[in-house]
Amino acid sequence: MEEFELGKHEYIELCNLLKIMGFCESGGFAKNVIAQGEVTVDGEVETRKTCKIKTGKVVEYNAQKVKVV
């Protein structure tokens, strides 16, 4: 499992996290896979593209996982 450090920020939007981590090649593609229900946050399907991902959350897409720290 990979980790993403928020640093000074309170959260990152789900679509941006997928793009920054390289799980999706673009923000548009990330929004599409989220809308199709292919992404989970803490094991639950998440369809809100701009869902706020905060410290401790685990995001999974296409057999890739990232924990926000």
pLDDT band, very low/low/confident/very high, at 1 (cuts 50, 70, 90): very high
- Comparing CA positions, the residue from 25, 2, 33, 1 lying closest to residue 14 is 33
pLDDT value for 50: 94
The residue assigned the tokens 């809308």 is 35
pLDDT digits 0-9 by tens, 5-18: 999 999 999 999 99
CA pair distance 11, 67, nearest whole angstrom: 12
What are the structural domains, with CATH classification, of the chain? 10-63 (3.10.290.10)
Question: Is residue 39 within 8 Å of residue 59, measured between CB atoms?
Answer: yes
pLDDT value for 17: 97
**SS3 state at 29:** helix
pLDDT digits 0-9 by tens, 35-66: 999 999 999 999 999 999 999 999 999 999 99
pTM: 0.93
